[in-house]
Amino acid sequence: MPNLASFLHKRQTMSQASHLLVCSLLTLGLLTSWKGAQASTPQHLVQAGEPVKSSVSQNVPPALKNLLAQIDTAASRGDIKGVMQFYSPNFVHGDGLTRQNMEKALTALWQRYPQLKYSTQVQSWKSEGNAIVAETVTNITGVPSTSSDNSVLNATIKSRQRVTGGKIIRQDILSERTQITSGTKPPQVDVKLPQQVKVGQQYSLDAIVQEPLGDDYLLGAALEEPVKPSKFLTPTPVDLELLSSGGIFKVGRASAVPGSQWVSAVIMRGDGMVMITQRMQVVKN
């Protein structure tokens, strides 16, 4: 027989779950805006005379590797000045962020998750006139926070950045995936979502729980939002609903204009919750 007591407990904790989701969406935005910055910083050490492009880590200049390590260290200890010093006053972000609201976002992120660890790898780099354009992948790993919900954050973000005169002048997020868990036993979920769709195209989101449910009930929700500056500091709350199957299976439709969208799946059971968010690019036909 289904565990009704467990389900009632879930309903009582639904407001807590919604609060965590709000924080999660905020965190996602913060991670996104920071990711490109971390990777872009080092590129100013590459001179125009260097190889035009390198996709092999052994060919990355030692000074570039060292600077990446320094930035990872500064971010891992929550040193906002140590990170922001590499941004140009005229910095431009593909998501519409400014240097000022990026700094606010990072500060808020590190207050909620004070024990994040950063590791960045250069995938490719090339010279373009007096600028360097580089693509990097940064992994962010967390440990359980000291908050009552015992939340943990992990993310992987690929970004492209342009650096001139030792400062990051532009950055764009190419792909990202963020997972936030809470509780003693969050559900293990496999999310399937296309990374790119055409404007107006129909797409499927499958978030499948990978373990037997037993007598457990599941609560969940799917959310699609455009990536824009207002969402970084003002996230949207979500109401969780009872799921009739072992996951979330939704069909959505891409926006009518090109851009980036966050697509999230939230699944909650009596002893834990998981939120997985991926960026989906909407492109012209």
Q: Kindly report, residue by residue over 228-279, the tens digit of the pLDDT.
A: 877 766 667 778 899 988 899 999 999 999 999 999 999 998 889 999 999 9
Residues 264 and 203: their CA atoms lie apart, in Å, by 14
Average of pLDDT values for 176-187? 92
Question: How far from 98 is each of 81, 104, 158, 261, 269, CA to CA, in Å?
Answer: 16, 10, 19, 19, 38
Q: In this predicted structure, what is the pLDDT of residue 48?
A: 32
Q: In this predicted structure, what is the pLDDT of residue 67?
A: 67
Asked if the model's pLDDT at residue 225 lies above 60, the reply is yes
Looking at per-residue pLDDT, the higher value among 216 and 176 belongs to: 176
Asked if the model's pLDDT at residue 214 lies above 80, the reply is no
- Span 147-173, pLDDT tens digits: 656 788 999 999 998 877 777 789 899
- Span 97-133, pLDDT tens digits: 888 888 888 888 888 888 899 998 889 888 788 887 8
Average of pLDDT values for 166-186? 89
Give the confidence band of 11 by pLDDT, cuts at 50, 70, 90.
very low
| Complete domains list, the chain, with CATH | 4-283 (3.10.450.50)
Looking at per-residue pLDDT, the higher value among 274 and 144 belongs to: 274
Q: In this predicted structure, what is the pLDDT of residue 146?
A: 66
Mean pLDDT estimate for the chain:
77
| Beta-strand relationship, 241-242 and 247-253 | unpaired
Looking at per-residue pLDDT, the higher value among 183 and 231 belongs to: 183
User: How far is C-alpha 196 from the geometric centre of its chain's CA atoms?
Assistant: 16
Q: In this predicted structure, what is the pLDDT of residue 271?
A: 85
240 φ/ψ angles, rounded to the nearest 5 degrees: -85, 140
Residues 191 and 207: their CA atoms lie apart, in Å, by 4
